[in-house]
Structure 1
């Protein structure tokens, strides 16, 4: 070991082991991971520490990482290695030490673990500070800068040990404050749970218009209040932890739309740490963290509802096509049976056909029942029963259609939308997701998809413009569907073109100090039914602001129009045409018979 290097740092390793042992006895950790600065690792102090550490904790599973240029934090993800409860220790020379970034990345998603930062200092600097007691010494600044870095990286449960047996803790609420606990430290004072009281902590965020999730932000009793399904949850959560919302980037208009791409970028850049604008995670968002799920959303296409079929089709739709063919076949074979079985001579098929038609309509001529032929009496009785059942069956179906409109075929699948030539409005990130699934969404379907912005969606989808189909998530659909809850036939319905399920979450920074209290708040709100209450309350607020409306359609009774009888007129006209043709044929046949007789008489045959 280099003598100069060995004397470069000083640390009371016995005191560090004492504090570590006290913490271990209190929490009984299953694992300990140690991050060692490359500069400190080459010192005699480091060697002394490890000797004492393995003597004191010979059976505790430990992981040791030493920082260096060739050490990639992605190769040492601790969330796959550690069992909780676990403790991490970081031996560092300051916030700019490479071991700090190594610990931050390696412990990603685990910053909630209890962590001991050991600030090693050069001997000359330490002596200058502790002997002179100068508040302007670099060591004092170094402590503040180190703790500022620790909080910026969202390490939540930390203590800081320095030379000369000093212990510091951080009180982050409402503003960062480093507290010296050297003279009276106790383990129970090290890791304080602030989840229930953040002492008026101000959370700066961005608030925009996003019906139904966030809208109508206003100040009540010097507190910013939000309406909306997500806004009410967010506001109540902030109140429950004694924190306030600060809008550091006030919108120019209360209806300025929320662009989720911009919100995600603000969170990723750590401009804001948590957004009240919840989102449906269509894609894995690796560059930011997310809250505990508010719910589970499907992504679907909402399509206009086709209210009813044309009235003139009622008479035809009362029976299926196969039933109509069966009735026609029955008419033919019944007429043939009557023609073959009738005892009257000469037999006329036209009379038998008329009798069969009247029987099917349950209006059989009574004269045909006046027969002493047992065979015909049985046949007429059978026809009477058949006609009674068939005619009443048909009448019942017609009556039901007249009482309620006959639903027409709706748009369900991708092929239905393609055949209907209906334009579909989606966001750009949704279109990219559709492009990655060519088997479910072929090119002929994508050709009818248009990319629009949030403002277009607010103007058309939220007002239920039936000219287009729109992409929508489950929570938005439940809110919009409340507008048409009193309609006999809705304006829109959900098609079967869906993806999911996806988590409905709040975007937030990785390892945010608000992640755990928000998780438990969402769980309690879900179990107590508050999410349903806030949804209905948000809809009431939107109604009062005239952002939505209850749709009512008053339909007065209407008399049947001539179009309703269109099939009857068509059959009647066709019958007239056929009758006229037959009449002309009969006249022509009669004329030919007379002409033939006349020729025979003239020839004397």
Structure 2
């Protein structure tokens, strides 16, 4: 009760001295008090010009603060351009008051920067001087500022020299228009209806945007534009009663129409493009550019070629890893050592070293000798029992794995990490402006890998990548890979694979002007797209459209496959011949040695 009384006294005092100021405190209080009771604003931001000092301004700020005391905190800003409300702990909905001497007042730049990312919310711009209705230029200048900086839900409030209170705003669609919003409740009801329905009406506005080749997101097929993400944004634009208008760009390096996303993003920053029809993931939002609500989270990885780098002569070695072969040989020598120990313990009546080696070899291939079975000792019984399990599982695994390998006459050497890329010295192709992004986010790339990077124009990159030129590895996002992989899914032996060499996950979204009035509409629309599954449907159908346009093709399967034959086992016969030759040489040496011994 006492607070209400103080508020009325303060307003009467302000009304008594407001003969020269361009605003009426009582009018503003009566206009906004209903919102304080509804608790619609959780933060009040005051932007106060330093050019003029108004005695009653401090009292007005205190009184408005008392009116919203139950629901809002307050922040006063005068010259801090580094502050950002979207980074502060303040709650989402807020109201701003701007006391200014005009559009050239430094407080307007402070107002623009501090509320960056929050221009959508309500603000009241209040000139400090009364306005002559015959000369509305100061008001129109403020409205043009609001138009340029996307303050479409803000208003310019002023009092005329005749004592009338006026509210003016600006509309963007279908063209810039200054609106008299003095009937505030009517305007508020209309704006609330749009917010609740999440559907603006741009009244046929044509959004300028590049429309270039950007597989799989956007491309031209049979006289119309197609693409997985373009069909989504095109549906949204038609949903708000608008359309796209192509913004012409120069040809690419090959004279074609491949999109250069660096140029497209710059057009958005320069406010030539409101929303870009090309979805993109590899960029960061800044003070001039932001992203719509993301449609996907995609990884950025390398697609690498699959090589037949293993000769068929080495197939018998492939069933086991080198460590397994090491343990096999280790077991062989361990058995030899046991045989030698056995000979030393039981004297010369036992067979010699040659017999020990031969027995060990028989153990390792699970072929026991006749002499061992006729005179089985306890040690040999344990050895045979152990080697039985060893040889059984080893030979069973070897023969089954080798049989599987022989059914396919190609054995792929996989490239799965950065060391494999460096070891193979495989050049890695990347778009020039994406290389800048890569080096920005990965400043500690190995020098050996950095030397393999080949930055090229976007058109050259697309030409090599879509044709699966196996001379290079390529940077690619996950959704692009799923599209290109359709070209080779029918092949028994694919040409490329998506490796495990990745450089982070990013949001696939549409580039949008900072503080665009469309951000909330497209956010709600994207929610519906996710729930309906349209994105997956458009992604599947985009390949067929690109196939009809001749932009991609199903790679023909020209390789002839033959069943496993004797040519696959050539190495086995080579080993047999080599061992036979060695055995013959050893036998000859033993004969010569025997003859020499007899002669002496």
Partner Cα separation in structure 2 for residue 395 and residue 183 of structure 1? 89
- 2:237 aligned with 1:226: no
Q: Which moved more, 1:22-31 or 1:487-496?
A: 22-31
Partner Cα separation in structure 1 for residue 520 and residue 155 of structure 2? 20
Partner Cα separation in structure 2 for residue 75 and residue 354 of structure 1? 85
How far is the alpha carbon of 1:458 from its aligned partner? 0.5
The question of whether the paired residues in 2 share the 8 Å contact of 1:6 and 1:44 is answered with: no
Partner Cα separation in structure 2 for residue 54 and residue 360 of structure 1? 91
Q: Provide the residue aligned with 1:87 in structure 2.
A: 95
Residues 1:424 and 1:390: Cα distance change in structure 2 (over 3 Å): closer
- 2:151 aligned with 1:155: yes
Q: Provide the residue aligned with 2:166 in structure 1.
A: 166
CA RMSD of aligned residues (A): 4.0
Q: Provide the residue aligned with 1:557 in structure 2.
A: 562
How far is the alpha carbon of 1:53 from its aligned partner? 3.9
The total of aligned residue pairs comes to 567
Q: Provide the residue aligned with 1:20 in structure 2.
A: 32
How far is the alpha carbon of 1:76 from its aligned partner? 6.1
Q: Provide the residue aligned with 1:315 in structure 2.
A: 316
- What secondary structure is seen at the aligned counterpart in 2 of 1:579? helix
Q: How does 1:54-69 map to 2 (within 5 A)?
A: 56=67, 61-66=73-78
The question of whether the paired residues in 2 share the 8 Å contact of 1:34 and 1:62 is answered with: yes
Q: Provide the residue aligned with 1:601 in structure 2.
A: none
Q: How does 1:375-524 map to 2 (within 5 A)?
A: 391-404=395-408, 407-432=411-436, 435=439, 441-524=445-528
Partner Cα separation in structure 2 for residue 205 and residue 437 of structure 1? 28
The question of whether the paired residues in 2 share the 8 Å contact of 1:257 and 1:454 is answered with: yes
Residues 1:572 and 1:89: Cα distance change in structure 2 (over 3 Å): same
Q: Provide the residue aligned with 2:176 in structure 1.
A: 176
| Unaligned ranges ≥5, structure 1 | 130-136, 220-224, 597-605
Residues 1:62 and 1:217: Cα distance change in structure 2 (over 3 Å): farther
- What secondary structure is seen at the aligned counterpart in 2 of 1:486? coil
Q: Provide the residue aligned with 1:536 in structure 2.
A: 540
Partner Cα separation in structure 1 for residue 351 and residue 29 of structure 2? 120
The question of whether the paired residues in 2 share the 8 Å contact of 1:425 and 1:450 is answered with: yes
- What secondary structure is seen at the aligned counterpart in 1 of 2:229? helix
TM-score, normalised to structure 1's length? 0.80
How far is the alpha carbon of 1:80 from its aligned partner? 0.9
- 2:584 aligned with 1:579: yes
Q: Describe the superposition over 1:242-266 as per-residue Cα deviations: whole angstroms up to 9, x where unpaired.
A: 2211113266589422222212211
Residues 1:106 and 1:456: Cα distance change in structure 2 (over 3 Å): same
The question of whether the paired residues in 1 share the 8 Å contact of 2:308 and 2:413 is answered with: no
Q: Describe the superposition over 1:527-565 as per-residue Cα deviations: whole angstroms up to 9, x where unpaired.
A: 332222221121221122222223353543245354642
How far is the alpha carbon of 1:379 from its aligned partner? 9.8
- What secondary structure is seen at the aligned counterpart in 1 of 2:490? coil
- 2:117 aligned with 1:109: yes
Q: Provide the residue aligned with 2:273 in structure 1.
A: 272
Partner Cα separation in structure 1 for residue 575 and residue 428 of structure 2? 39
How far is the alpha carbon of 1:511 from its aligned partner? 0.9
How far is the alpha carbon of 1:50 from its aligned partner? 4.9
How far is the alpha carbon of 1:301 from its aligned partner? 2.0
- What secondary structure is seen at the aligned counterpart in 2 of 1:118? strand
- What secondary structure is seen at the aligned counterpart in 1 of 2:273? coil
Q: How does 1:212-251 map to 2 (within 5 A)?
A: 212-216=216-220, 226-249=225-248
How far is the alpha carbon of 1:115 from its aligned partner? 1.7
Q: Provide the residue aligned with 1:546 in structure 2.
A: 550
Partner Cα separation in structure 2 for residue 76 and residue 116 of structure 1? 19
Residues 1:119 and 1:537: Cα distance change in structure 2 (over 3 Å): farther
The question of whether the paired residues in 2 share the 8 Å contact of 1:79 and 1:109 is answered with: no
Partner Cα separation in structure 1 for residue 386 and residue 61 of structure 2? 105
Residues 1:415 and 1:286: Cα distance change in structure 2 (over 3 Å): farther
The question of whether the paired residues in 1 share the 8 Å contact of 2:336 and 2:356 is answered with: no
Q: Describe the superposition over 1:52-72 as per-residue Cα deviations: whole angstroms up to 9, x where unpaired.
A: 646755665333334xxxx23
- What secondary structure is seen at the aligned counterpart in 2 of 1:494? strand
The question of whether the paired residues in 2 share the 8 Å contact of 1:202 and 1:243 is answered with: yes
The question of whether the paired residues in 1 share the 8 Å contact of 2:47 and 2:77 is answered with: yes
Partner Cα separation in structure 2 for residue 119 and residue 18 of structure 1? 19
Partner Cα separation in structure 2 for residue 239 and residue 382 of structure 1? 79
The question of whether the paired residues in 2 share the 8 Å contact of 1:226 and 1:235 is answered with: no
How far is the alpha carbon of 1:415 from its aligned partner? 1.9
Q: Which one of 50, 53, 75 corresponds to residue 42 of structure 1?
A: 53
Q: Provide the residue aligned with 2:199 in structure 1.
A: 196
How far is the alpha carbon of 1:477 from its aligned partner? 2.0
Q: Provide the residue aligned with 1:138 in structure 2.
A: 135
- What secondary structure is seen at the aligned counterpart in 1 of 2:449? helix
- 2:566 aligned with 1:569: no
How far is the alpha carbon of 1:168 from its aligned partner? 3.1
- What secondary structure is seen at the aligned counterpart in 2 of 1:138? coil
- What secondary structure is seen at the aligned counterpart in 2 of 1:569? helix
TM-score, normalised to structure 2's length? 0.81
- What secondary structure is seen at the aligned counterpart in 2 of 1:157? coil
Q: Provide the residue aligned with 1:132 in structure 2.
A: none
Residues 1:49 and 1:502: Cα distance change in structure 2 (over 3 Å): same
Residues 1:112 and 1:216: Cα distance change in structure 2 (over 3 Å): same
Residues 1:47 and 1:495: Cα distance change in structure 2 (over 3 Å): closer
Partner Cα separation in structure 1 for residue 366 and residue 87 of structure 2? 81
Residues 1:518 and 1:388: Cα distance change in structure 2 (over 3 Å): closer
Partner Cα separation in structure 1 for residue 366 and residue 68 of structure 2? 100
Which is higher, the Rg of structure 1 or of structure 2? 1
- 2:105 aligned with 1:97: yes
Residues 1:56 and 1:412: Cα distance change in structure 2 (over 3 Å): closer
